[in-house]
Structures are given as structure tokens and as C-alpha cells.
Amino acid sequence: MPQSFHPPQRTLLGPGPSDVSPRVLEAMARPTIGHLDPLFVEMMDEVKGMLQYAFRTQNALTLPVSAPGSAGMETAFVNLVEPGDTVIVCQNGVFGGRMKENVERCGATPVMVEDDWGKPIDPDKLEDALKAHPEARTVAFVQAETSTGAESDTRTLVEIAHRHDCLAIVDAVTALGGTPVEVDAWGIDAVYSGSQKCLSCTPGLSPVSFSDAAVERIRSRTHKVQSWFLDLNLVMGYWGKGAKRAYHHTAPINALYGLHESLVMLQEEGIENAWARHQRNHAALRDGLEAMGLSFVVEPEHRLPQLNAVRVPEGVDEAAVRSALLDDYSIEIGAGLGPLAGRIWRIGLMGHASNARNVYMLLGALENILADQGHALEHGAALSAAHRAYAADDKDLKAAVNG
Amino acid sequence: MPQSFHPPQRTLLGPGPSDVSPRVLEAMARPTIGHLDPLFVEMMDEVKGMLQYAFRTQNALTLPVSAPGSAGMETAFVNLVEPGDTVIVCQNGVFGGRMKENVERCGATPVMVEDDWGKPIDPDKLEDALKAHPEARTVAFVQAETSTGAESDTRTLVEIAHRHDCLAIVDAVTALGGTPVEVDAWGIDAVYSGSQKCLSCTPGLSPVSFSDAAVERIRSRTHKVQSWFLDLNLVMGYWGKGAKRAYHHTAPINALYGLHESLVMLQEEGIENAWARHQRNHAALRDGLEAMGLSFVVEPEHRLPQLNAVRVPEGVDEAAVRSALLDDYSIEIGAGLGPLAGRIWRIGLMGHASNARNVYMLLGALENILADQGHALEHGAALSAAHRAYAADDKDLKAAVNG
């Protein structure tokens, strides 16, 4: 008969889930109350307000879907796309492919705009696709490709979509909290994220936000939303501010305690400070990895600070390195997906896990393991490089503070 | 700026969520590990095995959907129903109506078999509907109607469905763990439940199980499943035993720690003992409520022990009683839904919450509140009646043990 499960203490430096703060874990263990309890409803309003803060939006329809990020993606598509629609889907990694699946399953036609894995989406290609498909009503793309660590220019892509009278759906699963996602300033119509990346909460919830134009489209649909569970016309009845809450489904109470706590922590730090922290630790990790002779998949100007995709050096056993990290150091990093499987590692520094301690720990562990595998490197060079990066950043910070 | 949320300590005696054991809450707070971590994958296998135990099945396709019970319902419908199908839906409460919505959103035609709220489903009406609709491929019904507390005869209804070459979808959200759900012995083809009822876990997961005949239908579909997130062809790749785990979505790690712990507790107690405990506490509550002059919505032979729907006495303010229970005693009970709104209370004794302490506490509190509202009752009669019920049960138990 199975016994209680006691997981080991890992350091999660993969593509997510990322390390969860003890504050969030402790919040998850607070007593369960009812999903219609007046005190729970107050907490829901706070979660909505703090998600508006994280998404930089005033959108009334901002809430966490009661399921993981994939369900957040599906929420965007099933609510905004109708059978017979044309949807332009930009793909430069795994998650654009998943968007295509969503479009097809809505009975609509995806028009694919393809870019190489590891490159950002090319705005000119999107513009061409929209000119060729004036019937398109929706554009969809991934801001931060979790499979490659490449960031696309959301502001420009949304602007192009709007110029062609399309709504823009943006995947911000890995972006939110680690790099700017300016929902209102950039005019994003539908955005979804995940709780387990730069928000440092446990997996299982998907924050979403919809613009007024998106809400208008949802309200004026000619077909019912194909998913009852994800139909925002119904979900709004439960999450609508001030309104009497109509029972829709039973919210995942304790998971929401965790998300609430992680958002309190984000507000305490200040989201701009969180973005700066992700940049700072990325720079130190980058310098350390490069000092070890590793190279990045993505060009510097399109790199996500929270997700570092690096090439596996010639002669090194990709999977053996990950196993050694996990078994000997209890550190998790990610493998490559699709065409990058076996060729890259994905090293996340997301949310709570983005700190100097983890940068030094990973560099030290990786140096040992690569040396064992016969990869030529200068011992100590990676840690020194990271140390210099932090020192340079401190100097810049001091200079900025002192004017 | 919002602060950390500290919920009050409630006693949850409504239709769910029910009280969660401190063991489960503590498990939720254990360190998050990766969803592809070998140790996590081992834990997933244990969860599957323990769900087979709870569902009394050998079905290989037995797993928790990463979302609440409503998504479990949707999983059953979107995988088993194709556009153009006819589905017989039996309705005797809220959740049969939700099944109808699901069928319609799958592009299929629901044929409704209606019974009064509070009554079980009439097998003869199902038989008539199947005779009138030989094209039907699926029958769906709710074993334990959470809106009324009525239990239907699953064994008989499934047998009728099979006789007419239909697969049977059974809603066991409130049933599982509180009253027998014999998936294999009764031949159920698809069943779904919720973590937050008689399993005493937090809300957010939906255990499901599918028979070989159901899996065969899923594999031979002519249309893709309309939901990417709930497509069991894909989910099986992640949850399939022994097979290499293919990434589908990020599992809600800590929620699964909680479910694992609640299933360990169920095995420790033994599911037959859990059923008996629900009956025992129901009997004591029933005698106490009746001694207060309250009457049940459902006839004795169809009553669920875990969900007691009682009529609000003449002259008593339904909502004021619930508010007084919540505010003065921190006890939650449920209101009526649909045609029963304002006319009944729903008192749950589910899972961990099904115990004598809660029976006495609720009876005492309710007696005080009803007396304050001018309802005529004999003080102390309810507690005495409950006490006598427990004593009689103890005597029966001793007699049984002593042969």
C-alpha cells in the first residue's frame, strides 16, 4: 500500500515549474473554505486586482482560469474563434504549433507564419500573411517561446494585427513577471499565462486577461463556446466584480491561496524590480556559461532573461549531464523539444529561482559535470565571470542611484 | 496593497468542498518538483493505482484530470461524443442539465429523460427513450445528484444502456468515497468525480476512469476531440503506465501531492469502512434533524448519506440561518439550487467531515438558531436522538463482531 509521498528538495532551473517560495507553499496549506464564502470572494477580488497589476491592465475580464496554462490557451481560442474563421498563427517553436491545434479544433482555418526555432517572429511575414488573408479576424503568437528562449516583439506584432482589423492573442506563459507584458500599452486583446513560471507559484492556474474588444466579440458570438468549462460568458458570472457570484464550477481554493501569496510578493518587490532582477541574474549566468565555452541558441537582442537555451557542446552527452545535475546536485534543468531535442539545454531563472545563489550553484555544478565528461574548460572561470557581471551591475546601480 | 490572506477555520458541511484533513493540507505544502521528475512519475503511478482502488476498477485509463469536476464531465463528453450523435441524458437535478449543455456543445443531440428534482432516475423512462431512439450511442446520468441528495441506481441504468448498445457515462462527483461506485462490477464506461467531496482533498482535480470499450471508441473517432487540453489521446501519452512520458501539459504538482495523501488515507481506512462511516453519521444526523421537526427532500431508500437535503420549515428565513451558522459558528452548509433555491438546505457529511463531532456541533448550532427564529422545538431532543442513533449502531456493530 502506498505511503505518504515526501518529495526531495530540488532546485528547479528548467523551463517551469520554477522554485516556489516557502511563503507560497505555506499559503497552500491554509484551511480550505467554501468557494462562495464571503471571505473567499473578497480574496478573489484581490487576486483579480493583483493580476491587473501584473498584466499592466485595467481590463475588467482579468482572472485565473482554474487549470494549467494549456487551458488558458484554450480559453483564448474557444472564446474568440468561431467555426469558419481564419486565424493567422505565428510559429517559431512548440507553442505556436499548439495554437494551430487549437484553431483547427475550433473549426477554423489556421494560416501559419513560420520562423526558425530560436528566432523571433518576423513582423514582415505577419504583414504579408494579413495582406494575403484579408478575411482573417485573429492573429495569435507566443511572446516568450518556452521551447527556445526567444522573445518576439509583441508591441509591433499587435499593432500590425490591429491595422488589419484583427484581434491579437498573446501567449505570455513564460513572459509574465520576468519580462514586460504591457497589456494596455500594447493593446493586447487576449493574453494568458501560467502560475508556475515567473510568478513562482505551483502549477495549475492560468491567469488570463481580455480587452473590451475581445469581450465584445465573445458577447456577440453566433455559435456557443464549444467548451462549457472555459466559456467566459459563464465564468464571468462567477468572477465578475461586485456582481452576485453565480456558481459555475468549484474554484481550486488552496491553489488560489498560493497564487494570491505569490502576487502579494510580486507587488511587494515591484514588477519593474522583478524584471530588473531577472536581467541581472541572466547577465551573470550568461557570462558564466560563455566562460565555460557554451553558446546561446538565441541572438542577444531577442533572449529571454528567464529562459536560457544553450547548445550542448560537441562530445558531451546531453541527457547524462541533466541526470548528473538531478542525481548529484538535485538541480533540474530542461531538455530541448522538437528539432532541438538532444541539442540544447534550457536553463530557467524564473521568479523566486532567479537569484545569485542559484546562478553560482548551477555554474559550479555544471563545470564539474562537463569537466568529468572531458569538455575542455578553465576551472573557476565561470564563477569568476558571473562574479564580475554582478560587480559591474552593482557599479551601474550605484552610479544610477548617485546620479 | 493586499496582504497575505489568512482564511478562517471553517467546518465545511455543505455540498463541497468538504473539510480537508490536516494531512492533506500539509502534503500540499511540500516542495514542488518537476512534472517529468522520475520521482514525480512514480508518484503518478501510485495515484493511478489508488484511484483504481477508489473506483473499484482495473481500467488502465484511470487518472486525475488537471482541473475541477466540471472539466472531468467535459472530458467524458468531448472524448466519447461525436458531432451528429444522439445522447440520452437523464436529468433529475442541476448536473443533468450541465450534461445537456456538454452534449450540445459537442454538436450532438441530447434526448432528455426528466425526473423530478429529489427523485432518482426512473429506469423505465430510460428504457422507453432508448426504444424511441435506437440511433443513440451514449447514455449519461448522475449517480449522486449534488443539488438534491438523491441517488440513482447506477447498476440498473448501466445495464439498460448496454442492452441498447450504448456506452454509459456516470457522474460520481459526490458519490466517490462516500457510497459504492463499482466501476467494473456495474460495467460503467466513463466515470468522473471531484477531489473535494468524499475524497476530502482540496478542489481542483477530477479523477476519471474509462473502460476498454470507451477507450476503443476514443481511438476510433472520426473527428478530433474538440478540446486539446482534455483530449485523452494526448493525455494518455503523459499518464500512460510504463510508457515514456510525453509532455502534454504541466501537471498541478502540489495539488496531486494532496490527492495522493487523501487516497493514502482512504486506503488506510478501507473504502468499505468509509462507506459505513458515512452511513453511520448520516443516520445520527437524520435522527437529530427529524427530532427538530425537519423533513428530508429525498425518500429514505434513495438518500445519499453524504448529502442531506432538508426542507426549510415554514416561517424560517433560509439565508439568515446559513449566515448565522457561518458568522456565529463558522459552519458552512449549502443553499438550494434551481427550483429548490430558498426552499432547502444541503448538509454535507463528506469524507473527513463525516464524523460524530460535526454531527453534534451542527445539530446544536442549528437548534439554537432555529429556536431564535421562533421555530418550535424541544431543546436537546436533536442531540439525544443523534446520541441514541450512535448507541444503536454501536450495539449492531458489537453484535456483528461477536457473531
**Reported ipTM:** 0.96
Same domain, residue pair B249 and B318:
no
Query: Residue for cell digits 438550494?
Result: B336
Say how far apart CA A89 and CA A142 lie, in whole Å: 9
Q: Is the pLDDT of residue A192 over 60?
A: yes
Nearest to B67 among A33, A49, A66 (CB): A66
Q: Is B401 in the A-facing interface, judged by CB distances under 8 Å?
A: no
Please indicate whether, in this complex, the C-beta atoms of B74 and A228 are within 8 angstroms of each other: yes
CATH number at residue B351: 3.90.1150.10
Q: Is the pLDDT of residue A39 over 70?
A: yes
**Which neighbouring-strand residues pair with B391?**
none
Q: Is B6 in the A-facing interface, judged by CB distances under 8 Å?
A: yes
Do residues B113 and B90 lie in contact, with contact meaning Cβ atoms separated by under 8 Å? Answer: yes
pLDDT of A31 = 98
Mean pLDDT of chain A: 96
Strand B109-114 versus strand A334-335 pairing type: unpaired
Query: Which of B215, B232, B267 is the last residue in one of the domains?
Result: B267
A15 falls within a domain: no
Please give the C-alpha separations between residue A287 and each of A283, A294, A354, A371, A396, in angstroms, as whole numbers: 6, 10, 15, 18, 17
Same domain, residue pair B252 and B279:
no
A34 contacts in B (CB within 8 Å)?
10, 12, 14, 17, 332
**Phi and psi at residue B191, to the nearest 5°:** -140, 145
Same domain, residue pair B146 and B257:
yes
Do residues A246 and A323 lie in contact, with contact meaning Cβ atoms separated by under 8 Å? Answer: no
Q: Low-confidence residues of chain B, pLDDT below 50?
A: none
Same domain, residue pair B227 and B276:
no
A33 falls within a domain: yes
Same domain, residue pair B299 and B385:
yes
A257 falls within a domain: yes
Same domain, residue pair A34 and A92:
yes
Give A225→chain B minimum CA distance, Å: 7
Q: Is B25 in the A-facing interface, judged by CB distances under 8 Å?
A: yes
Give A238→chain B minimum CA distance, Å: 14
Domain that residue B225 falls in:
21-267
**Phi and psi at residue B145, to the nearest 5°:** -75, 110
Whether this prediction's pTM lies above 0.90 is answered by yes
Same domain, residue pair A127 and A160:
yes
Rounded to the nearest 5 percent, the helix, strand and coil shares of chain A are 45, 15, 40
Give A109→chain B minimum CA distance, Å: 14
B2 falls within a domain: no
Q: Is B300 in the A-facing interface, judged by CB distances under 8 Å?
A: no
A1 falls within a domain: no
Say how far apart CA A40 and CA A51 lie, in whole Å: 16
Same domain, residue pair A241 and A330:
no
Chain A segment 38-67 residues within 8 A of B by beta carbon are 38-40, 43, 46, 49-50, 66-67
Nearest to B250 among A2, A31, A69 (CB): A69
Say how far apart CA A319 and CA A343 lie, in whole Å: 10
Same domain, residue pair B288 and B259:
no
Cell of A237: 458570472
Please indicate whether, in this complex, the C-beta atoms of B332 and A249 are within 8 angstroms of each other: no
Q: Is A71 in the B-facing interface, judged by CB distances under 8 Å?
A: yes
Cell of A323: 541526470
Nearest to A34 among B14, B34, B258 (CB): B14
B247 falls within a domain: yes
Same domain, residue pair A254 and A120:
yes
Say how far apart CA B246 and CA A18 lie, in whole Å: 19
Substitution target in B28, B48, B74, B264 with the highest count of A β-carbons within 10 Å is B28
Same domain, residue pair B275 and B263:
no
B71 contacts in A (CB within 8 Å)?
66-67, 71, 229, 249
Cell of A393: 551591475
Mean pLDDT of chain B: 96
Q: Give the H or E element holding residue A324.
A: helix A318-329
B14 falls within a domain: no
Query: Which of B267, B292, B315 is the last residue in one of the domains?
Result: B267
Q: Left if phi > 0, otherwise alpha if psi is -120 to 50, otherwise beta: which for B200?
A: left
Nearest to A7 among B33, B74, B196 (CB): B33
pLDDT tens digits, one per residue of B24-67: 999 999 999 999 999 999 999 999 999 999 999 999 999 999 99
pLDDT of B240 = 76
A255 contacts in B (CB within 8 Å)?
202, 204, 252, 254-255
Nearest to A250 among B203, B228, B261 (CB): B203
Please indicate whether, in this complex, the C-beta atoms of B247 and A337 are within 8 angstroms of each other: yes
Say how far apart CA B247 and CA A149 lie, in whole Å: 18
Substitution target in A30, A250, A257, A329 with the highest count of B β-carbons within 10 Å is A250
The one-letter amino acid at B21: S
pLDDT tens digits, one per residue of A49-95: 999 999 999 999 999 999 999 999 999 999 999 999 999 999 999 99
**Phi and psi at residue A295, to the nearest 5°:** -125, 155
Q: Nearest to residue A121, comparing CAs of A102, A136, A142, A139?
A: A142
Q: How many CA atoms lie within 13 A of B356 on its CB side?
A: 12
Q: How many CA atoms lie within 13 A of B61 on its CB side?
A: 26
pLDDT of B397 = 78
Nearest to B252 among A6, A202, A225 (CB): A202
**3-state SS, residue A112:** strand
Do residues A204 and A68 lie in contact, with contact meaning Cβ atoms separated by under 8 Å? Answer: yes
Q: Calculate mean pLDDT across residues A296-315.
A: 97
Q: Is the pLDDT of residue A244 over 80?
A: no
Query: Residue for cell digits 434551481?
Result: B338
Say how far apart CA A366 and CA B347 lie, in whole Å: 57
CATH number at residue B203: 3.40.640.10
Q: Nearest to residue A218, comparing CAs of A242, A189, A247?
A: A189
B262 falls within a domain: yes
Beta strands in A211-288 (DSSP E): none
**3-state SS, residue A308:** strand
Q: DSSP secondary-structure letter at B15?
A: S
A2 contacts in B (CB within 8 Å)?
46, 49-50, 260, 263-264, 267
Same domain, residue pair B279 and B292:
yes
Query: Which of B211, B232, B267 is the last residue in one of the domains?
Result: B267
pLDDT of B403 = 63
Say how far apart CA A174 and CA A195 lie, in whole Å: 9
- pLDDT > 70: what percent of chain A? 99
> Quick one: A60 exposed, middle or buried, by C-beta within 10 A (0-12, 13-18, 19+)?
middle
Cis amide bond preceding B17, omega within 30: yes
Give B88→chain A minimum CA distance, Å: 18
Substitution target in B226, B249, B352 with the highest count of A β-carbons within 10 Å is B249
Do residues A169 and A77 lie in contact, with contact meaning Cβ atoms separated by under 8 Å? Answer: yes
Please indicate whether, in this complex, the C-beta atoms of B4 and A16 are within 8 angstroms of each other: no
Please indicate whether, in this complex, the C-beta atoms of A5 and B17 are within 8 angstroms of each other: no
Please give the C-alpha separations between residue B13 and each of A307, B22, B308, in angstroms, as whole numbers: 45, 17, 10
Please indicate whether, in this complex, the C-beta atoms of A226 and B228 are within 8 angstroms of each other: no
Whole-angstrom Cα Rg for chain A: 22
Number of domains in chain A: 2
Q: Is the pLDDT of residue A365 over 70?
A: yes
Nearest CA in chain B to A19: B32
